[in-house]
Structures are given as structure tokens and as C-alpha cells.
């Protein structure tokens, strides 16, 4: 009997030791051959702070083990030599000098194959969608046991609808047909929040695709399949905040992991104090350190552990999946110096990666403030290549909707473009009409189809990288109050939908007209480098018309764009444009194929943007 107990004890202890594992070790694995030799592991598990750690693997040095306020965490600094080989090795955890257990860590080989991490540029057109609302490709993941939100209700704008990554994979040919080149999904990362968790901006696990959208492996497959079709992928990442149900927030490594306030304090959402030389410190603190919402605590990006955690997480996803570009959520709300350091580290690892920040601000100067190439009153360069060009959006809208005045109507658009001198390179900006946070353009122009086409022609011929919001091509509409109203399901994305608007047969006559307009111009843009990266020349508006050229400086054929937003037909005397038109024998209307041989005057129909190719 005694012998049996001893054996049992030995078995049990061995079992305990073998089973001893952490709740989280992040990043779960890493790579050899990275530019930055440093790696900081976050190890999370009940009362682990008493352990020390050691390892013995050629080329990998354990530099330091950090204990922090919370006994459930250790941070382990590693240094990986350039000649270290990929492989698995044990990290041994010790208590009072005695080995307690091993944790097997893996360094993989960095994938440097061509076609990965290509970057997204003005040669591309981005298609933004929300994975919960685009297409349900896998009904088995609509509800996932164990997650906090269990209601699936397509009639409610707040609940989950069941869309997923497989639904997007199923429509890769649709994107090709439409003529867009790049997919940007709102965050696919786990948002295990109790309510309205579908939008993706309240992250609860930085290393896990939300199981309702798929798995990490499926996400990687999605990127690979898109690349195989010649499509690129942008990932939407959130530095500023996390979800209040994140395990890391529920059991924080240290009190200042997030910015703490005596009472709940929300960000002012006002970017001006970030750049304003006259701003009060209190206003700046409220903007940058205030929480985005009660459910979205604000990361303390001055904390070096937080910095390492976020930077490594983004590098991990890019290398893991081969992503082409990042869209940075709520850029002005972040700690500026950290964001600059982050951008330098990301660009060092992935020189081709494209990055643009969400800057829904109120002036061109404010947008330009956040972009790379100047230090202004900040004293350092942000290294942020591009921004979401909100002022261009407002200007296009105003050109179509407001009566021209000294600064109004088409003059606003002209002025905004003229302020491009503020950017190191304005072509890195993402230009758009609308997105998941704002009223849909078709509603903003009172469902005026002529204005829709006028605006679309500007968007797809203007400098920068155009971004379309899903459903724009089929005239989806609504005002963003609440924002769920601009996040309806794409009709046909769910089995049993009344109409399948992914197909011409499922669309109405006018929807097909819209779809064909977008597709034709998008494909034309794809075929003509002048519309991608050709030099832009604009003219001071006269007779309430706005005219610009995209010159064939980078190949292709030069294009003349004429916007006449007025309700009347106009005759344009072309003598002003001799510098660009002098060698042109004729002009071809890109949308209709009509050829104009007499170039002395051009007739511009009412409410039209003419896109004319120079021959
Ligand atoms: Ca699903």
C-alpha cells in the first residue's frame, strides 16, 4: 500500500510538472533573421513571479527576467543572434534554483518569398468591408460556445450577423471583377465582448482571430489566396485601446498598463491639443490619455512593456500572414513619440509595408501634421507615410453639393489639392467618400445618381489611393445615426438572401449601372499608370468648373478630368490648357468611348465629370 502511494505521488507530481503551463506566452513563437535581435516574452500564469528562467540554445541569449507588480506575470528579454537557427528549445523555469518545468519555445524561419508584403500604393484601389456584415461563408462559426455574446440577430444593427473570413475568401473573384486590388477588413481579431462586439475595435486577444470569423490559420490562408489572385491585404490594427474584457486588462501586469483616472474620463476626441502650441496640458492629456469608451480602456503607450507588446504583436501578424499594409486606428489618440518609434521598427523589418493612419481631423494642416517628413513643433518625425484624407472627402462632397463661391464649392476642392505642399508625398494618402463610421455618400448626395457618378469619377482619378466602402458599388445608402445603419449586410452574402447583388442578375438596372460605372473606371485606372502615379496639374476653377490633368509621366496616357457640378450644359474653351493639350490629336471619353476630334471647345453635360484620355 505504502509503495503504491509513493508511486501515485511520483506519478501525480510528474503529471503536475509536465502539465505546468502558462495561461499565455506571447508572442507564441518568433522568427530568426529579424532585423531587431531583441524579443520580450510576456509570460502570464498564476503566481509565476517567483520563478527564474534559463535556456541553452545556440545564438539565443536570455538577457533578463523582469518581475512586475502583478505576481502573475514575468517578462523575459531574449536576444537572438543573426546566425541563430530556427528550431524549438526549452525555456527552463526554476524555483529556488531548482528546475520546476520546461516551456518549449519556437523560432521559425522568416519567410522572404516574393509576393509577400508587397505594400499598397496609389496603383491600388482599396475595398473596405466589415467581416461580420459582408458574407457568411461558414454557418458553423456563427455562434461559438464560451464566448460572451451568444445572440445572432441579422435584424439588429448591434448583434452579430454571422459573416466571416470564409465569406470574403468566397468572393475574391468578385473583387477582381469589380476592379479593386486590395481588401481592408475592419479588425478580424477576437472581440469577446458582451454586446455589440462585431465592429472589432475592442480587442480581447491580440494573437487570435475571432473564432466567429475563423482561425489564425484561415486568416493566413485568406492572405495567401488573395495574393494568388493578385489581390493585396490591409490589416486594421488598434494601438490606442483594448477591450475591457481582454484577459490582459482583467489581470493587468501593472497598474499603469492603461492610463488611470480618478473617475472615468473619456477622450475629448479633439485632435487640436496634440498639435496646438497654445494647448493646455489638461486638454492634451484628456485627448491622448482619456479612454475611448468605458469598454475601451486606453493603453499607456509610455510604458515600455506596453510598447514592446504592441510593436511585437503587429510584427508578428505581418510576418505570420504576409500582410501588405496596415491601417492604424484612431491615430491622433496615441502617444506620438511611441508611434514614431513603432513606425521605424516596422519599416526596418518590412521595408515594403504600407502604413496609413486614421486621422478624422478638421484641416489639411492637421492631417499633414501627423505625416512623415517634417518635425514641426513636435521635434521628431512621425514616420507615418500616409493618412486617411478626410479633407479630400469633405472637399469632394462640397464640390458636388455647394454653390461655388470664392472659397466654396469647386474652389474648396481646388484649395484642398493646392495644400498638398504640406505633405512630403500626398500620393500616400488614402482618399475616400465614406467608411464604416460615416454616412454613406449616396445618401449624402440625396441619392442623386448623377452626383454619385461625378464623385466616383473624381475619386478614381484623383491623386492618392482610392478606398471604396463595401456596397458603394450597388448604391447602398444610409446615414450613420446609429452607425449600424451604414453597416448593413451585403445582399447575397447569406444563403437564402432575397437578392444576390454579387451578380448582375441580382442587381436592379440602376445598381448595375452604378456597378458597371465603378468597375469600368476602376479597370481603366488599373490599366493606365497616368491615373495611378501620373503627375497632377490642376487649374483655378473658372465658370464653376474644376479641371485637372493626370500626366503620363509614369507611362500610360495622360488624362483630362473636367467636373461640371452645375445643372446646366457648359462649353469649355480649351485655350487655357494648351500646355497639356498641344500634342493631343483627339480626346476619348473613357466612359463612353466617344472620340472628340475638335478640341477648341468641349461641351460638358450638366452634373458630369468627364474623364478624357489624350491621344
Ligand atoms: Ca459564419
pLDDT tens figures, 364-404: 999 999 999 989 999 999 999 999 999 999 999 999 999 88
Write the pLDDT tens digit of every residue in 472-506. Answer: 999 999 999 899 999 999 999 999 999 999 999 99
Q: How far is CA 556 from CA 446, 529, 615, in A?
A: 36, 5, 11
Q: Ligand 1 centroid vs 360 CA: distance in angstroms?
A: 31
The confidence score (pLDDT) of residue 567 equals 96
Instruction: Compute the average pLDDT of residues 501-525.
Output: 98
Q: Is the pLDDT of residue 1 over 90?
A: no
Q: Ligand 1 centroid vs 131 CA: distance in angstroms?
A: 9
The confidence score (pLDDT) of residue 16 equals 42
Instruction: Compute the average pLDDT of residues 547-566.
Output: 96
Distance separating alpha carbons of residues 464 and 395, to the nearest angstrom? 14
For residues 254 and 299, is the Cβ–Cβ distance under 8 A? no
Instruction: Quote the radius of gyration of the chain (alpha carbons, Å).
Output: 27
Question: What contacts 253, CB < 8 A, 6 or more positions away?
Answer: 42, 44, 68, 69, 70, 73, 75, 305
- Catalytic, 594? Answer no
| Residue 99, in any domain of the structure | yes
| Residue 548, in any domain of the structure | yes
Q: Is the pLDDT of residue 109 over 80?
A: yes
CATH code, domain with 93: 2.60.40.10
Q: Ligand 1 centroid vs 141 CA: distance in angstroms?
A: 5
Q: Ligand 1 centroid vs 436 CA: distance in angstroms?
A: 20
Instruction: Compute the average pLDDT of residues 434-443.
Output: 96
Q: Ligand 1 centroid vs 165 CA: distance in angstroms?
A: 8
Residue after which a domain boundary falls, among 85, 109, 133: 109
Taking the mean position of all CA atoms in its chain, how far away is CA 455?
Answer: 23
Q: How far is CA 182 from CA 179, 285, 334, in A?
A: 10, 36, 26
Write the pLDDT tens digit of every residue in 179-231. Answer: 999 999 999 999 999 999 899 999 999 999 999 999 999 999 999 999 999 99
| Residue 6, in any domain of the structure | yes
Catalytic residue among 335, 358, 454, 544: 358
Q: Ligand 1 centroid vs 329 CA: distance in angstroms?
A: 25
Distance separating alpha carbons of residues 463 and 430, to the nearest angstrom? 9
| Residue 583, in any domain of the structure | yes
Residue after which a domain boundary falls, among 91, 109, 127: 109
Q: Ligand 1 centroid vs 225 CA: distance in angstroms?
A: 19
CATH code, domain with 605: 2.60.40.1180
Catalytic residue among 210, 272, 329, 420: 329
| Residue 360, in any domain of the structure | no
Q: Ligand 1 centroid vs 142 CA: distance in angstroms?
A: 4
Q: Ligand 1 centroid vs 139 CA: distance in angstroms?
A: 4
Q: How far is CA 127 from CA 157, 186, 235, in A?
A: 21, 11, 12
**pLDDT level of residue 3 (50, 70, 90 thresholds):** low
Ligand 1 is a single-atom ion; what residues have CB below 5 A from it? Answer: 136, 138, 141-142, 162, 164
| Residue 587, in any domain of the structure | yes
- Catalytic, 329? Answer yes
Report percent pLDDT > 90 for the chain.
94
Distance separating alpha carbons of residues 443 and 400, to the nearest angstrom? 13
Which domain range does residue 83 map to?
Answer: 2-109
**pLDDT level of residue 159 (50, 70, 90 thresholds):** very high
Q: Would you call the peptide bond into 482 cis, given omega within 30 degrees of 0 as the criterion?
A: yes
Q: Is the pLDDT of residue 4 over 70?
A: no
| Residue 16, in any domain of the structure | yes
How many structural domains does the chain have?
A: 2
Write the pLDDT tens digit of every residue in 229-250. Answer: 999 999 999 999 999 999 999 9
The confidence score (pLDDT) of residue 13 equals 44
Q: Is the pLDDT of residue 60 over 90?
A: yes
Q: Ligand 1 centroid vs 145 CA: distance in angstroms?
A: 13
Q: Is the pLDDT of residue 538 over 50?
A: yes
Strand 430-432, strand 30-32: pairing:
unpaired
Task: Please state whether the predicted TM-score (pTM) of the whole model is above 0.85.
Answer: yes
Q: Is the pLDDT of residue 340 over 90?
A: yes
The confidence score (pLDDT) of residue 554 equals 84
Instruction: Compute the average pLDDT of residues 112-135.
Output: 96
Q: Which residue has the higher pLDDT, 20 or 412?
A: 412
Residue after which a domain boundary falls, among 86, 109, 132: 109
Amino acid at each position: 500500500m505504502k509503495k503504491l502511494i509513493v508511486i501515485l505521488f511520483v506519478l501525480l507530481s510528474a503529471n503536475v510538472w509536465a502539465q505546468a503551463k502558462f495561461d499565455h506566452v506571447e508572442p507564441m513563437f518568433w522568427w530568426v533573421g529579424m532585423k531587431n535581435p531583441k524579443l520580450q516574452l510576456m509570460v502570464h500564469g498564476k503566481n509565476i513571479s517567483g520563478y527564474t528562467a534559463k535556456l541553452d540554445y545556440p545564438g539565443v541569449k536570455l538577457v533578463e527576467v523582469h518581475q512586475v507588480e502583478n505576481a502573475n506575470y514575468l517578462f523575459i528579454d531574449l536576444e537572438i543572434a543573426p546566425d541563430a537557427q530556427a528550431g524549438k528549445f526549452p525555456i527552463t523555469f526554476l524555483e529556488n534554483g531548482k528546475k520546476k518545468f520546461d516551456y518549449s519555445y519556437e523560432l521559425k524561419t522568416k519567410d522572404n518569398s516574393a509576393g509577400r508584403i508587397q505594400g499598397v500604393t496609389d496603383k491600388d484601389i482599396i475595398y473596405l468591408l466589415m467581416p461580420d456584415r459582408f458574407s457568411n461563408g461558414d454557418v458553423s462559426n456563427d455562434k461559438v460556445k464560451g464566448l460572451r455574446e451568444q445572440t445572432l440577430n441579422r435584424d439588429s444593427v448591434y448583434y452579430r450577423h454571422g459573416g466571416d473570413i470564409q465569406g470574403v475568401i468566397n468572393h475574391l473573384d468578385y473583387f477582381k471583377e469589380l476592379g479593386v486590388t486590395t481588401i481592408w477588413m475592419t479588425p478580424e481579431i477576437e472581440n469577446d465582448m458582451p454586446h455589440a462586439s462585431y465592429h472589432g475595435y475592442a480587442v480581447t486577444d491580440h494573437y487570435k482571430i475571432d473564432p466567429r470569423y475563423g482561425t489564425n490559420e484561415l486568416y493566413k490562408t485568406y492572405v495567401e489566396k488573395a495574393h494568388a489572385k493578385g489581390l493585396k491585404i490591409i490589416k486594421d490594427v488598434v494601438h490606442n485601446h483594448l477591450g475591457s474584457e481582454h484577459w490582459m486588462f482583467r489581470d493587468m501586469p501593472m497598474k499603469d498598463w492603461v492610463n488611470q483616472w480618478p473617475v472615468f474620463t473619456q477622450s475629448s476626441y479633439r485632435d487640436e491639443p496634440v498639435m496646438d502650441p497654445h494647448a493646455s496640458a489638461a486638454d492634451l492629456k484628456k485627448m491622448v490619455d482619456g479612454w475611448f469608451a468605458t469598454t475601451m480602456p486606453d493603453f499607456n503607450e509610455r510604458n515600455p512593456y506596453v510598447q514592446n507588446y504592441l510593436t511585437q504583436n503587429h510584427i508578428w501578424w505581418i510576418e505570420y500572414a504576409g500582410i501588405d499594409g496596415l491601417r492604424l486606428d484612431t491615430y491622433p489618440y496615441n502617444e506620438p513619440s511611441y508611434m514614431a518609434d513603432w513606425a521605424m521598427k516596422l519599416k526596418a523589418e518590412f521595408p515594403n509595408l504600407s502604413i496609413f493612419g486614421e486621422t478624422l481631423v478638421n484641416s489639411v494642416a492637421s492631417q499633414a501634421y501627423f505625416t512623415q517628413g517634417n518635425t514641426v513643433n513636435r521635434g521628431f518625425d512621425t514616420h507615418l507615410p500616409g493618412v486617411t484624407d478626410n479633407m479630400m472627402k469633405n472637399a469632394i462632397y462640397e464640390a458636388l453639393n455647394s454653390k461655388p463661391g470664392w472659397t466654396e464649392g469647386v474652389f474648396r476642392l481646388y484649395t484642398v489639392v493646392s495644400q498638398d505642399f504640406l505633405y512630403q508625398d500626398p500620393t500616400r494618402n488614402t482618399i475616400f467618400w465614406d467608411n464604416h463610421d460615416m454616412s454613406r455618400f449616396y445618401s449624402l448626395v440625396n441619392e442623386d445618381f448623377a452626383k454619385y457618378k461625378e464623385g466616383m469619377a473624381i475619386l478614381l482619378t484623383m491623386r492618392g489611393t482610392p478606398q471604396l466602402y463595401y456596397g458603394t458599388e450597388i448604391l447602398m445608402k444610409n446615414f450613420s445615426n446609429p452607425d449600424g445603419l451604414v453597416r448593413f449586410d451585403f445582399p447575397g452574402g447569406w444563403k437564402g438572401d432575397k437578392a444576390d447583388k454579387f451578380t448582375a442578375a441580382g442587381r436592379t438596372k440602376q445598381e448595375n449601372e452604378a456597378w458597371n460605372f465603378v468597375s469600368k473606371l476602376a479597370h481603366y485606372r488599373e490599366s493606365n499608370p497616368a491615373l495611378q502615379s501620373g503627375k497632377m496639374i490642376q487649374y483655378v476653377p473658372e465658370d464653376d468648373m474644376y479641371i485637372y490633368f493626370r500626366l503620363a509621366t509614369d507611362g500610360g496616357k495622360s488624362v483630362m478630368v473636367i467636373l461640371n457640378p452645375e445643372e446646366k450644359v457648359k462649353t469649355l474653351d480649351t485655350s487655357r490648357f494648351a500646355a497639356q493639350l498641344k500634342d493631343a490629336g483627339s480626346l476619348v471619353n473613357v466612359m463612353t468611348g466617344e472620340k472628340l476630334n475638335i478640341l477648341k471647345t468641349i461641351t460638358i453635360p450638366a452634373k458630369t465629370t468627364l474623364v478624357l484620355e489624350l491621344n
